[in-house]
């Protein structure tokens, strides 16, 4: 009987420990609390230490994330965008940028301490207010590697024209006549003209920054050639398969 009482009390204690709200402040500090009131300016919470009776007020502007006891979450910051040199986009709250590292907070279903990464791992950081930070000591005098940024954006946002792909498939299908090979090749190697994309956050740089545009075009040309080649050989493959079926059944 005593054992049952002990386990019952232990269970109640464990539930009490985990039944709590969690706050993340503007410096990335994560701390448990019992939130008692929230308004547009302040958050009132009680310490988990029952011997402390006073409520604590914290300015809402000093809190970036709340996870409530019931599992509901509230993000109180606008996402900053961090772009690595590999072209990976990360989203979260940049807490600090120092000479060698970048510290940022993000929530992915679990509350983890802020992430620390080397500054040299990033190509660009775009803060939510539109300002940009940089990052790579090998960048140009403006502090931004616009050529590299252009390549990354082309990889993510340039799309070959659908009409080109249809044309390449038709050329592949009609290769038996020989003459489509030349125009198909020429079309694949002509530099792309429609390169603007409203989804690209740096689209305006195509008209204002020659270095960015050069980097963008270098990657866009490769993507266009790869897409055109794939479309052409898709048509050619269909032609060969059709010829094989014809010879087999007729």
pLDDT by residue (tens digit) across 189-247? 888 888 998 888 788 888 888 888 999 999 999 999 998 889 888 888 887 887 777 67
pLDDT by residue (tens digit) across 63-87? 999 999 898 999 999 999 888 877 7
Give domain 20-75's CATH architecture. Roll (2.30)
Angle (CA) 16 22 25, round 5°: 150
Comparing CA positions, the residue from 146, 149, 132 lying closest to residue 87 is 149
**27's tokens:** 């410096």
- CA dist 111 and 66 (Å) reads 10
Angle (CA) 175 250 171, round 5°: 10
Q: Would you state the pLDDT for residue 13?
A: 39
Q: Give the number of C-alpha atoms closer than 13 A to the C-alpha of residue 78, restricted to the C-beta side.
A: 5
Comparing CA positions, the residue from 174, 180, 168 lying closest to residue 232 is 168
User: Percent of the chain at pLDDT above 70?
Assistant: 86
Q: Would you state the pLDDT for residue 12?
A: 37
pLDDT at 137 over 70: no
- pTM above threshold 0.85: no
pLDDT at 103 over 70: yes
What are the residue ranges spanned by the domains of the chain? 20-75, 80-140, 153-249
């Amino acid at each position: 009987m005593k054992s049952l009482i002990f386990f019952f009390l232990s269970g109640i204690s464990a539930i009490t420990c985990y039944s709590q709200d969690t706050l993340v402040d503007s410096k990335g500090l994560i701390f448990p609390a019992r939130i008692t009131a929230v308004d547009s300016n302040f958050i009132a919470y009680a310490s988990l230490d029952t011997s402390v009776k006073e409520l604590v007020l914290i300015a809402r502007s000093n809190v970036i994330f709340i996870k409530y006891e019931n599992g509901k979450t509230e993000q109180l910051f606008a996402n900053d965008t961090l772009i690595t040199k590999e072209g990976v986009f990360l989203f979260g709250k940049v807490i600090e940028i120092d000479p060698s590292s970048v510290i940022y907070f993000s929530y992915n279903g679990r509350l983890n301490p802020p992430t620390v990464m080397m500054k040299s791992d990033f190509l660009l950081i775009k803060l939510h207010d539109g300002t940009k930070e940089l990052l790579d000591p090998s960048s140009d005098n403006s502090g931004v590697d616009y050529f590299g940024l252009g390549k990354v954006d082309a990889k993510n946002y340039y799309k070959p024209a659908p009409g080109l792909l249809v044309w390449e498939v038709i050329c592949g299908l009609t290769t038996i006549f020989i003459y489509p090979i030349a125009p198909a090749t020429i079309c694949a190697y002509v530099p792309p003209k429609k390169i603007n994309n409203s989804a690209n956050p740096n689209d305006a740089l195509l008209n204002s920054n020659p270095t960015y545009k050069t980097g963008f075009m270098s990657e866009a040309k490769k993507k266009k050639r790869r897409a055109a080649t794939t479309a052409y050989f898709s048509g050619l493959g269909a032609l060969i398969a059709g010829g094989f079926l014809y010879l087999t059944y007729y």
